[in-house]
Chains A and B, each alone.
Chain A
Amino acid sequence: KAGVTQTPRYLIKTRGQQVTLSCSPISGHRSVSWYQQTPGQGLQFLFEYFSETQRNKGNFPGRFSGRQFSNSRSEMNVSTLELGDSALYLCASRPREGNEQFFGPGTRLTVL
């Protein structure tokens, strides 16, 4: 099976712009989670989608949003970008509750 894929791998934006990141989970996995990784804060949970519904949400401002499509692919959107949004954004999928997650390679977002 193909692994979790994320596009694009690298992105450079300027403050105030918006960005959309995409994640394709492993075939058959219905849960997709998003994380923000920064050197200072480690891995912070953004949200999880399961069968097109948001199941869990982390403590991020409303500028961060996501959605999941019927084929389980997920997108994450960040509006009004700030310098502090520069990070590695990781997507992870799993087949069902309780199981381990499988991570994609991440999208490196740089905000100038």
Chain B
Amino acid sequence: AQSVAQPEDQVNVAEGNPLTVKCTYSVSGNPYLFWYVQYPNRGLQFLLKYITGDNLVKGSYGFEAEFNKSQTSFHLKKPSALVSDSALYFCAVRDGRDKIIFGKGTRLHILP
């Protein structure tokens, strides 16, 4: 069965430090992978996606993600964290029926 896992419920990073939010997936066939961010009392906002091509994908607000097929991972990264990056982050994968499956989310806290 298709699934996506975000192993960390919460990640704390000091402002200015690099950040990583982890995501692993299980899907048959070629994966379509997505990252979304949710700010308080808001819907989800699309950050970036991987469909094919370069393993390093660049997205909005300075975020990037690295697709690693052998490790079935799609970790979200940013070289220098901002306090305003504090939010809830969701990884998602498209399954074989074009249904989008979301991970449980990782709460990112950037400490000033």
Contacts and interface: CB of A to CB of B under 8 A. Distances in A.
A98 interface: yes
Contacts of A90: 43-44
Give the interface size bracket for A toward B.
20 to 34
B90 interface: yes
Interface residues of B, number: 22
Interface in B54-112: 90, 94, 97-105
B100 A104 contact: no
A75 interface: no
Interface in A41-77: 41-43, 45, 48, 55-56
A33 B100 contact: yes
Given A100-B34, A100-B49, A42 B44 contact: no
Contacts of A92: 43-44
Most buried by A among B44, B46, B94, B99: B44
A48 B95 CA distance: 13
A42 B99 contact: no
A101 B100 contact: yes
Closest CB pairs A-B (n = 5): A103-B43, A42-B104, A43-B102, A103-B44, A56-B99
Interface of A: 4, 33, 35, 41-43, 45, 48, 55-56, 90, 92, 97-98, 100-106
Given A35-B102, A45-B99, 10 more contacts: A4-B43, A33-B100, A43-B105, A56-B97, A98-B32, A98-B51, A100-B34, A102-B46, A103-B36, A104-B43
